Amino acid sequence: MAMKAYDLIIVGAGPAGLCAALYAGRSMLKAVVLERGAPGGELLNTDLIEDYPGFESILGSELSQRMAAHALKFGAELVTDAVLSVEKQDDGAFLVTGESGDTYHAPVVILTAGGTPTKLGVPGEPEYAGRGVSYCAVCDGHFFRGEVLAVIGGGDAATEEADFLTRYASKVYVIHRRDAFRASPILQQRVFGNPKIEVIWNGVVERIEGDGRNVIQLALRDVVTGTRSELAVGGVFVFIGFQPNTGIVKGHFRHDAAGYFITDDVMMTSIPGLFAAGDVRAQLTRQITTAVGDATTAVIAAAKYLAELRDRQPVATT
Ligand code: NAP
């Protein structure tokens, strides 16, 4: 169990974390990026990206690799370790504890830990997770060639991934609890224009049923008429939002109703020295472009914060 000291600890290696690492390297800060899995974060759950300037169309996995390589080029230290806690100590510095047992110390932490997919919370969901219940179309879509699938949700993720899943599936039902999508118009257009997609409005899933090995059908209820029905599917993809990964931070911090960090305009949270960037932060939208923008601001502000801390250190007298 090692104890390592840095200027800056970056938690998470999605677009925000990798961009923060790039800027930290260019700011000559001693920084470490702690990530529990492969670098890329939600990029790894996204197939084609068409809204990142300079790349008309790029695979999420390829953009992840490019961002990681770019950060490494500027000296980023990428460490695979799941962060268990981020704690501000009495001396003002942060103690970050990893699953490995190693601890990391720094006056500044930038939390870019993203979020965890929200679960439906219905019977059958945990039992069939990985056996027909999925939260990642890019990861699992190819397992369902020629099958009938259901996608749950009405936001950008649900509509985008439903369209993607039609590459493999013979038919995709999009089941939404209201009678209108909240997804952006261009993604809605793709769904409505895709002959393999059928939308079930005002529908909620009451149960996910299987044969003991795989999902075979959904028990649905129409929230307007109260009618119950069964829908035969080979798999169900759930895209009903994310919960921000803020639970690792010990102590009180300002957050919005959904639990996202409220930051000031330089990405500092209500805990001095703790910055938040990307999907963990309360904001209008969560895009790759906004994540890297947040991270850029956070590192530049963090560098200033570190300089101010150093200026405040008492000068040693002999
Ligand atoms: P979201 O925008 O919050 O949408 C979640 C959807 O799930 C909503 O339609 C919501 O219904 C529904 N929902 C929530 N809880 C539910 C439940 N218990 N049962 C059934 N349905 C439920 O989340 P998201 O689609 O994951 O997107 C998250 C953020 O990432 C957004 O800011 C989005 O713009 C961004 N994103 C962007 C892209 C892109 O630009 N290409 C792709 C993916 C995500 P209601 O509408 O009734 O609330």
For ligand 1, atom 43, the nearest C-alpha belongs to: 157
Q: Which amino acid is at 247?
A: G
Tell me, using a 6 A CB cutoff, whether residue 157 lines ligand 1: yes
Residue segments in the chain with a per-residue pLDDT below the cut of 70: 45, 47, 315-318
Instruction: Report pLDDT for 218.
Output: 98
How far away, in angstroms, is 162 Cα from ligand 1 center? 13
Q: Which CATH superfamily is domain 133-238 in?
A: FAD/NAD(P)-binding domain (3.50.50.60)
Q: How many CB atoms lie within 10 A of CB 277?
A: 31
Residue 150 contacts residue 175 (beta carbons within 8 Å): yes
Instruction: Report pLDDT for 29.
Output: 97
Residue intervals in the chain for CATH 3.50.50.60: 3-117+242-312, 133-238
Angle between helices 288-312 and 15-26 (to 10 degrees): 40
Q: Running DSSP on this structure, what letter comes out for residue 294?
A: H
Tell me, using a 6 A CB cutoff, whether residue 182 lines ligand 1: yes
Tell me, using a 6 A CB cutoff, whether residue 233 lines ligand 1: no
241, 238, 282, 288: which is closest to 59 by C-alpha? Answer: 288
Q: Which amino acid is at 198?
A: E
CATH 3.50.50.60, applies to 3-117+242-312: yes
Instruction: Report pLDDT for 315.
Output: 67
Looking at the annotation, which residues are catalytic?
Answer: 136, 139-140
Instruction: Report pLDDT for 113.
Output: 95
Instruction: Report pLDDT for 138.
Output: 75
Q: What is the pLDDT of residues 194-245, one digit of tens each?
A: 999 999 999 999 999 999 999 999 999 999 999 999 999 999 999 998 889 9
Instruction: Report pLDDT for 284.
Output: 85
Q: List the structure tokens of 22.
A: 């790039």
Tell me, using a 6 A CB cutoff, whether residue 83 lines ligand 1: no
Q: What is the pLDDT of residues 50-88, one digit of tens each?
A: 889 999 999 988 999 999 999 999 998 999 999 999 999
Separation of alpha carbons 146 and 136, rounded Å: 18
Instruction: Report pLDDT for 316.
Output: 63
Probe ligand 1: pick from 240, 242, 256, max atoms within 8 Å of CB? Answer: 240
Number of H helices and number of E strands within the chain? 6, 21
Instruction: Report pLDDT for 299.
Output: 98
